[in-house]
Amino acid sequence: MDKQHIYKKFEDALKAEKIKLTPQRQAIFTNIMDSDEHRECDDIYNSLVQDDITVSKATIYRTLDILVKYDLIRKLVIGDGKAKYEPKIGKPHHDHMICIETGKIIEFDNDEIERLQEEEAKKRGYKIIKHVHQLFVKPIKDAKDI
């Protein structure tokens, strides 16, 4: 999907929510789409401040919620009430492992898992339209951990 098409989806989402397209919201959206990282609201805020963009954290949170609702970005709830965000639309599908000791986020994609979950849904007469697959992990330090 090209950038213009993705941007149109953003405009449509705001319109559907009856929210004005302001330069601040444009900047938030562009900032997220241009990043490949998993970032918290504060990270996004700091990055915007660095770019000399004045925007409140409340506006960022509100915009993030809309972007999540319309499937343009993904929200990862990582524990401690914290959440990280990453661009979703136009990016290849992947799932996540989150290390509970270090907070490290590992992306993975496994065709076999994808196939098995499709199969399970189909068996029950359903088709998967989206899924959230998050594994909380900790490092294996020795053999007895396995």
**3-class secondary structure, 125:** coil
Residues in the chain: 146
| Residue 100 contacts residue 79 (beta carbons within 8 Å) | yes
Smallest distance, Zn ion to C-beta of residue 128, A: 18
Chain centroid to Cα 18, Å, comes to 23
Smaller CB distance to Zn ion: residue 15 or 131?
131
Least Cβ distance, residue 107 to Zn ion (angstroms): 5
Q: Which of residues 75-114 bind Zn ion (CB under 5 A)?
A: 86, 107
Q: Which is nearer to Zn ion, 73 or 86 (CB)?
A: 86
**Does residue 138 sit in helix, strand or coil?**
coil
Q: Which long-range contacts (CB under 8 A, 24 or more apart) does 119-123 make?
A: none
Q: How many helices (H) and strands (E) does the chain have?
A: 5, 5
Query: Does 11 engage in binding with Zn ion (CB under 5 A)?
Result: no
Contacts with Zn ion by CB under 5 A: the residue count is: 2
Rounded to whole angstroms, the Cα distance separating 29 from 12 reads 13
**CB nearer Zn ion, residue 78 or residue 86:** 86
Between 19 and 132, CB nearer to Zn ion? 132
Q: How far is the CB of 94 from Zn ion (least distance, A)?
A: 5
Per-position x/- string for 33-52, each x denoting binding to Zn ion as judged by CB under 5 A, each - no binding? --------------------
Query: Residue numbers of the site for Zn ion (CB under 5 A)?
Result: 86, 107
